[in-house]
Amino acid sequence: MCQLLGMNCNVPTDICFSFTGFQARGGLTDHHRDGWGIAFFEGRGVRVFLDPKPSVDSPVAELVRQYPIHSLNVIAHIRKATQGEVRLENTHPFQRELWGRYWIFAHNGNLKDFAPALSGRFRPVGCTDSELAFCHILDTLAQRFPDAPPTPAALFEVLAGLAGAIAAHGEFNFLLSNGERLFAHCATRLTYIVRQAPFADAHLNDQDVTVDFSELTTPADRVAVIATTPLTDNERWEAIPPGTLISFSQGAPEETAATGASAGAAEKVTERR
Amino acid sequence: MCQLLGMNCNVPTDICFSFTGFQARGGLTDHHRDGWGIAFFEGRGVRVFLDPKPSVDSPVAELVRQYPIHSLNVIAHIRKATQGEVRLENTHPFQRELWGRYWIFAHNGNLKDFAPALSGRFRPVGCTDSELAFCHILDTLAQRFPDAPPTPAALFEVLAGLAGAIAAHGEFNFLLSNGERLFAHCATRLTYIVRQAPFADAHLNDQDVTVDFSELTTPADRVAVIATTPLTDNERWEAIPPGTLISFSQGAPEETAATGASAGAAEKVTERR
């Protein structure tokens, strides 16, 4: 299984601290050695750094850890390949454009017997179930709302339906963002924390590194960090219930929906085979 | 005006030497300080490094200069903004997906009164004439060939027609690649060199750096480098005639077409105003 990391903020924030712990999972404290990637939204633009090498050995990861890019929405992924060779085109996160905005997607899990009909507007370049799911999501959105994006509530409703339907094919934890909101779907395992005033010390699980956020923040700052498992050992992370989609906006959960997807559902699919 | 750099090879090659000279033009030996970017195709995948900072000060450029990424097709761009603020979303090269392949585009020039009708399938995220031209090119290709890519010859013919039509709106030098071929259009200024055996020394124009390619290559290697102006001062670069589209494949020109675009044509447009 892969590792997901996301961040959604109300002011542009760098992810250097969280990335330091996350990077260690790519071959040092965990065995996810099949490449990694990270996407930073800045305004309407997005920068995606990809490397098919393990993140712990990657000079690109070293740059990301040391170069503070300030962003409202970040999605990162460390890969343990289940479907698709270890190649650049199979490295998450994936990027496409819809309605004049970039969309970024990363997936943790494994989908089986998943062959959605695609219109051809969005086609996978690599051969992962993950990129196929992303293309199916965007294809569905483009067909439902061909001319312009829907309201945030309507978008969230369609995404919740898609998350549940796709999760019937297997484990489907994902992070998705259009630069405005960050959508986090838990099928089996995903946690988050909202950091806001009063800020305190945080100490990483995966490296012996502590940061005092009170020295780096203003009282109005709010940052949500989403990760497969907690990144720190002295803060309280919320486990997202399996079968839940959360929309994060301005550094906090905005909407929550049950999608019907869960570890149980995934196991049932497996058992049917 | 901006600076373009492209590379097309018959074996995966790093661009560290050429990039060393090119990077200097982003604020050191030339005044293109409004950001820069570079895209490397690796297999079907592509990595795009973007930085809205001047390339000469950019830690991302320093990484690219020192980290040899081997690629068959590379497109780089240093920006001197004419249209669109200095922002990440206006930083070249631009990326989209069509027919299950990534496409990369960078432009040098300035288009006026350019407002093509777009179907909505490809929409600009930023506000440059360049990204609009890229969306128009892909939109036209998708409408002409909705289900699958055409033959290389048919693709080249449509691109040549588009290059000429768009160049009626102003200066339209560009580099475009789908990871298989690199298309270079000269409206006013673009040069190239094909390096092949017997390889010799090359010395940069913009930095006092020499490389002996005979030490780094095999006799079968062939590399075409395309740049706005020659990058070396001891090799013979070919000036592409204004109003010419060249398709590069396997490190050499494959097809050439007159597009009717030229500095003269661009000036006529200006004079009409």
Sequence-distant (≥ 6) Cβ neighbours of residue B248 within 8 angstroms:
B6, B8, B181, B182, B183, B184, B192, B224, B226, B254
ipTM: 0.92
In the predicted structure, residue A50 carries a pLDDT above the cut 60: yes
Tokens representing A247? 């929309």
> Which residue out of B89, B91, B147 would a mutagenesis test of the A interface target, given it has the greatest number of A Cβ atoms within 10 Å?
B89
In the predicted structure, residue B257 carries a pLDDT above the cut 90: yes
B3-272: CATH class:
alpha beta
pLDDT tens per residue, range B140-180: 999 999 999 999 999 999 999 999 999 999 999 999 999 99
pLDDT for res B273: 31
Nearest CA-CA distance, residue B97 and chain A, Å: 7
Is B60's Cβ below 8 Å from some Cβ in A? yes
pLDDT for res B128: 94
In the predicted structure, residue A71 carries a pLDDT above the cut 50: yes
- Helices marked H in chain B: 16-24, 59-66, 129-144, 152-167, 263-272
pLDDT for res A30: 66
Tell me what percent of the residues of chain A surpass a pLDDT of 90: 71
Q: Which residues in chain A have Cβ-Cβ distances shorter than 8 Å to B123?
A: 97, 99-100
pLDDT for res A53: 82
pLDDT tens per residue, range A216-252: 888 999 999 999 999 999 999 999 999 999 999 999 9
Mean pLDDT of B20-46: 84
pLDDT for res B32: 65
Mean pLDDT of A168-190: 97
Domain boundaries, chain A: 3-272
How far is B8 from B2, CA to CA, in rounded Å?
A: 20
Contact across the interface for B88 and A126, Cβ inside 8 Å: no
Closest CA to B99 of B135, B67, B145: B145
In the predicted structure, residue B115 carries a pLDDT above the cut 90: yes
In the predicted structure, residue A92 carries a pLDDT above the cut 90: yes
Is B59's Cβ below 8 Å from some Cβ in A? yes
Listed range (A35-44, A55-64, B145-154, B200-209) with the worst mean pLDDT:
A55-64
**Mean pLDDT for chain A?**
90
Task: Tell me the residue type at A95.
Answer: Q
Higher pLDDT, A8 or B54: A8
When CB atoms are compared, the residue of A45, A97, A99 closest to B88 is A45
Contact across the interface for A88 and B42, Cβ inside 8 Å: yes
Higher pLDDT, A67 or B250: B250
Displacement of CA B114 from its chain's centroid (Å): 20
Contact across the interface for A45 and B91, Cβ inside 8 Å: yes
**For chain B, give me the number of helices (H) and strands (E)?**
5, 15
Indicate the DSSP class of residue B241: P
pLDDT for res A204: 92
Task: Tell me the residue type at B257.
Answer: A
In the predicted structure, residue A31 carries a pLDDT above the cut 70: no
- Number of neighbouring beta carbons within 10 Å of residue B198: 8
Q: Which residues in chain B have Cβ-Cβ distances shorter than 8 Å to A47?
A: 48-51, 88
How far is B265 from B60, CA to CA, in rounded Å?
A: 37
| Confidence bin at A177 (pLDDT 50/70/90) | very high
Q: Which residues in chain B have Cβ-Cβ distances shorter than 8 Å to A67?
A: 59-60
In the predicted structure, residue B14 carries a pLDDT above the cut 50: yes
In the predicted structure, residue B112 carries a pLDDT above the cut 70: yes
pLDDT for res B31: 65
How far is B273 from B271, CA to CA, in rounded Å?
A: 5
Task: Tell me the residue type at B120.
Answer: G
Contact across the interface for B123 and A146, Cβ inside 8 Å: no
> Which residue out of B53, B63, B97, B118 would a mutagenesis test of the A interface target, given it has the greatest number of A Cβ atoms within 10 Å?
B97
When CB atoms are compared, the residue of A43, A52, A63 closest to B87 is A43
Listed range (A15-19, A26-30, A96-100, A157-161) with the worst mean pLDDT:
A26-30
Indicate the DSSP class of residue A192: E
